Homo-oligomer: A and B are copies of this chain.
């Protein structure tokens, strides 16, 4: 019989935490044993998310109040901890859990940037600088080799995933110019978390679309640039425009880059097909453009390209579910790879459509 690893989640009452619970429940080799939350400690999962009421072994699980001092005890009963805390708050928790010998998958931004000064510039002080070098950026499509056996995984951000996937093949194969790249992204509202605010209040969000944090101030910018620079072999800067669109799950990203001489649409498609072998990145059949609805709830990314012959611009299009391939499903995919399992093991392959 297949043995399963014992899993805990810190930050289980937020959206990425709840999505981890859904996905782990369906995973044949991971079993949820322990959950923690901050303001909701003491409640059951069924109370913080009535969707979980009646689910045997889950709905009655009670949220604890995690403190770093508990890490040793946790290490005695768990194998893996997913940490879904806000950036800044995450690093101390991760350091303690990692120090106690647990495999840690961190969904915050705290271990995604390799360069400490870049981190400080965008996020402020870091509470576990020493671990930056140990953390592996958890995009399995690009970092498969480093992920094998990794003990500390920094799961990528949602916008970066949707931007890196279409652009990486183009830069790797030198199909577009490195300068002047535009990334125009539209995200569902779940990307802004579970705390209600004016911009997520249904009457002020459900029929509108709006940009925010534009012109180089959104914190996902350096993460996109770090990964694209690595694949391009030279520094890449992007103009990144996030937008809040009126639906719950999904990101559609359109990328624009100037075609190099000789670039063909065929070459763009082939670049992606040859780079992505995880089984979770689908290059759509020619003629189809991605739709966030087609990946909702699944661990899959869909992408495709177009070449504007009139302007010699290469367009890349990528759709993901921000909570799945953009967060929790990719975190599990990275763990799967770290443990030597198949990328898609236990993950939903088929979107909930419609």
- Residues of A in contact with B (beta carbons under 8 Å apart): 15, 18, 21-22, 25-26, 46-47, 49-56, 58, 180, 182, 184, 186, 188-190, 194-198, 200-212, 214-216, 237-239, 241, 243, 245-250, 252, 254, 256, 258, 279, 281-285, 288-298, 300, 302, 306-311, 313, 315, 317, 319, 348-354
Contact assessment for A208 and B350 in the assembled complex, using a CB-CB cutoff below 8 Å? no
Known: A194-B201, A209-B292, A354-B15. A182 touches B256 (CB 8 A): yes
Out of B202, B237, B288, name the residue touching A189 (CB < 8 Å): B202
Q: Tell me the complex Cα distance, A209–B293, Å.
A: 7
Contact assessment for B203 and A201 in the assembled complex, using a CB-CB cutoff below 8 Å? no
Q: How far is the CB of A265 from chain B (nearest CB, A)?
A: 9
- Copies of chain A in the complex: 4
Contact assessment for B254 and A241 in the assembled complex, using a CB-CB cutoff below 8 Å? yes
Contact assessment for B208 and A294 in the assembled complex, using a CB-CB cutoff below 8 Å? yes
Contact assessment for A289 and B212 in the assembled complex, using a CB-CB cutoff below 8 Å? yes
Contact assessment for A202 and B50 in the assembled complex, using a CB-CB cutoff below 8 Å? no
Out of B56, B206, B241, B279, name the residue touching A202 (CB < 8 Å): B206
Residues of B within 8 A of A296 (CB): 207-208, 352
Q: Tell me the complex Cα distance, A311–B210, Å.
A: 22
Residues of B within 8 A of A297 (CB): 297, 352
Residues of B within 8 A of A281 (CB): 54
Known: A184-B184, A237-B311. A246 touches B210 (CB 8 A): no
Q: Tell me the complex Cα distance, A283–B59, Å.
A: 13
Contact assessment for B313 and A239 in the assembled complex, using a CB-CB cutoff below 8 Å? yes
Q: Tell me the complex Cα distance, A148–B208, Å.
A: 35
Residues of B within 8 A of A190 (CB): 203, 354
Contact assessment for B350 and A252 in the assembled complex, using a CB-CB cutoff below 8 Å? no
Contact assessment for A246 and B248 in the assembled complex, using a CB-CB cutoff below 8 Å? no
Chain A to chain B contacts (Cβ below 8 Å), 20 pairs: A25-B349, A49-B353, A50-B285, A50-B291, A53-B288, A53-B302, A182-B184, A200-B202, A203-B249, A207-B293, A208-B247, A208-B250, A210-B252, A210-B291, A214-B308, A214-B317, A215-B308, A237-B311, A239-B256, A248-B354
Contact assessment for A352 and B350 in the assembled complex, using a CB-CB cutoff below 8 Å? no
A321, closest chain B residue (CB):
B352
Q: How far is the CB of A281 from chain B (nearest CB, A)?
A: 8
Out of B209, B288, B315, name the residue touching A250 (CB < 8 Å): B209
